[in-house]
Amino acid sequence: MKKRKGVGGEVPPVVSGQGDLFGALAPTPAPSVPARAAVSPMVAAPPRKPPPPPVDSDGTGLLGPMEGAPPPPPKPERSVLSVGELTRQLKQTLESRFARVLVRGEVTGFRGANARGHWYFSLKDAAASIDAKVWASMAGRMRFALRDGMEVLAEGSVDLYEPQGRYSLIVSRLEPVGEGALALAFEQLKARLAAEGLIGERRVRPPRPLPFLPQRIGVVTSRTGAALQDFLRVLHSRNPRLSVLLADARVQGEGSAPEVARAISRLGRSDVDVIVVTRGGGSVEDLWTFNEEEVARAIFASPVPVVSAIGHEIDFTISDFVADWRAPTPSAAAERLAPVLADLELSLATQAGRLRRAMERRILELREEQGQLASRLDDPRRAINHQRLHLSEQVESMMRVLRPRVREHRESLRALTERLQRARPQARLGEQRAHLLKLAMRLTEAARADVAARHATLSTARLGLERVSPAALVGREHARLAAHQARLLALQQGALADAQRRFQRLEGRLDAMSPLKVMSRGYSVVFRQRDGAVVRAASDVVVGERLGIKLAVNGAKTLGGCEEVEATVTALKGPVDC
Give residue 148's pLDDT.
73
The DSSP 8-state label assigned to residue 278 in this structure reads E
Residue 53 neighbours by CB under 8 Å, 6+ apart: 61, 62, 63, 66
In whole angstroms, what is the distance from residue 318 CA to residue 323 CA?
9
What are the CA-CA distances from residue 307 to residues 276, 330, 478 (Å)?
Answer: 5, 10, 101
Question: What is the mean pLDDT, run by run of 10 residues, along the chain of 578 residues?
Answer: 40 39 39 37 43 50 51 72 84 82 85 85 87 86 74 86 85 73 74 79 84 89 88 89 89 86 90 90 79 87 90 80 88 87 84 91 90 80 84 88 88 86 74 88 91 90 80 83 91 91 86 70 79 82 85 70 82 67
What are the CA-CA distances from residue 401 to residues 142, 333, 394, 496 (Å)?
Answer: 106, 89, 11, 120
Burial class (CB in 10 A: 0-12, 13-18, 19+), 209: exposed
In whole angstroms, what is the distance from residue 398 CA to residue 505 CA?
131
In whole angstroms, what is the distance from residue 163 CA to residue 91 CA?
12
In whole angstroms, what is the distance from residue 414 CA to residue 408 CA?
10
Give strand ranges (E) for 213-343.
Answer: 216-221, 243-248, 274-279, 306-310, 325-326
The angle formed by the CA atoms of residues 293, 298 and 303, to the nearest 5 degrees, is 150
Residue 90 neighbours by CB under 8 Å, 6+ apart: 160
Residue 544 neighbours by CB under 8 Å, 6+ apart: 568, 569, 570
Give residue 1's pLDDT.
39
For residue 419, which amino acid is it? R
* Terminal C-alpha separation, the chain: 57
What are the CA-CA distances from residue 366 to residues 210, 354, 358 (Å)?
Answer: 40, 18, 12
Q: Which residue from 184, 191, 241, 230 is spatially nearest to 327, judged by alpha carbons?
A: 230
In whole angstroms, what is the distance from residue 212 CA to residue 514 CA?
105
Give residue 43's pLDDT.
35
Give residue 576's pLDDT.
56
Q: Which residue from 548, 546, 543 is spatially nearest to 568, judged by alpha carbons?
A: 546
In whole angstroms, what is the distance from residue 153 CA to residue 144 CA?
13
For residue 311, which amino acid is it? G
In whole angstroms, what is the distance from residue 98 CA to residue 92 CA?
10
In whole angstroms, what is the distance from residue 53 CA to residue 46 CA?
21
Q: Do the beta carbons of residue 329 and residue 233 sit within 8 Å?
A: no
**Ramachandran assignment for 197, one of left (phi > 0), alpha (psi -120 to 50 degrees), beta (any other):** left
Give residue 522's pLDDT.
60
Domains of the chain: 88-178 (2.40.50.140), 210-339 (3.40.50.2300), 515-568 (no CATH)
The DSSP 8-state label assigned to residue 146 in this structure reads -
